[in-house]
Amino acid sequence: MNPLTQLSEDERLFAETVRQFSREQIAPLVRPMDENQQMDAALLHSLFGLGLMGIAIPEEYGGSGGTFFDAVLAVEEISAVDPAVGVMVDVQNTLVAAALLRWATEEQKKKYLPRLAADTVGAYALSEAASGSDAFALQTRAALRGDACVLNGRKLWITNAKEAGLFIVFATVDASAGYKGITAFLIEKGTKGFTIGRKEDKLGIRASSTCELILDECEVPAAQVLGEPGKGYKIAIETLNEGRIGIGAQMLGLAEGAWGHAAQYAKERRQFGRPIADFQAMQFQLAEMATEIEAAKLLVYNAARLKDAGLDFRKEAAMCKYFASHAAERVASLAVEVFGGAGFVRDYPVEKLYRDAKIGKIYEGTSFMQLATIAKLTL
């Protein structure tokens, strides 16, 4: 076994626990959740109950006290069954909880981390209509009024928005300062002037909610600022670097799930009196898929290990996100071909995984942005 993919005994047992949970409790819900575009409420409760929504949150705040790598393993195993559930767990752990652990005051940690570990979904609200790859071209404004800040604007493409009870919202407090005027705010669901808008009707990961947020004279106390005023850009950059490893893990898990379905089907499907897995062409196709998965795993695990070791992982995070998302799309596509006509209908799981794979090259930094980062840090 390659040292980079070798797990400790605790990591192996954790991964096996999540794998069993995913197969027993998530798998039966995949199709109805996809068709209804809704996360199952009982499943969400189970995710909290198993500690998967607060993996790296220290035990003193009610979390599982695990590592970032543990969170990556969980996202991988869950995404092999349903990437829509995988991204919910990913955003909770690698973006929202990670940002609070690094940037929140002790009072904020005591207030929100136990809730994130126990029953509160978190969401990360950066994107807007005019700020995608140009992440800091924010139009949402925050004006200081006494001891409070009043926010006005709209956010788009916010994952977990429908289920979330806590949002990290980025807004500009000083437009003349450019990106140095961006500030992060902690806003709770139900805050006056804060509304969840339209839910997107998506191609894939349909059980994962993606909604618009509307801020209309939304007043939040100054104590709800996350980090320092004007440092929101730094919070966004650093947490997104970690989040890219999480998306790499999601895409890795998706590819592993697609390969598993394809390999099993190839052993069962018979043509010309033999299982199609006996034909060299099919063996080569499955071997090519397995090779891309192994390469993606090496990149994802390496980036996660570097992050846990406190070493620079920016280049590796971009590489793993870039490669794993491309590998997932290709593996899922080939899995559909292994199934033939059966892979093109919703009766078999590879059709959904193929739809789910497309988002990997788009969100949390497009493939072009990952290449730009890789080029900058290597050249």
- The residues annotated as belonging to the active site are 364
Alpha carbon distance 355, 362 (integer Å): 13
Strands 182-188 and 274-275: unpaired
Three-state DSSP state, 63 = coil
The rounded distance, in Å, linking the Cα atoms of 309 and 365 is 24
How would you classify the pairing of strands 164-172 and 121-125?
parallel
How far apart CA 97 and CA 90 sit, in angstroms, is 10
3-state secondary structure of 311: coil
C-alpha distance from residue 216 to each of 96, 153, 162, 299, 330 (Å): 23, 7, 18, 42, 43
Q: Which of 212, 207, 198 is nearest to 158 (CA)?
A: 212
For helices 68-79 and 280-308, the axis angle rounded to 10 degrees is 150
Q: Which of 191, 135, 203 is nearest to 356 (CA)?
A: 203
DSSP conformational letter for 138: -
The secondary structure of residue 9, as a DSSP letter, is H
**H or E element, residue 221:** strand 210-221
Place of tokens 């797990």: 7
DSSP H stretches of helix in the chain: 9-21, 30-36, 41-49, 68-79, 83-90, 98-103, 106-118, 232-268, 280-308, 314-339, 350-357, 367-378
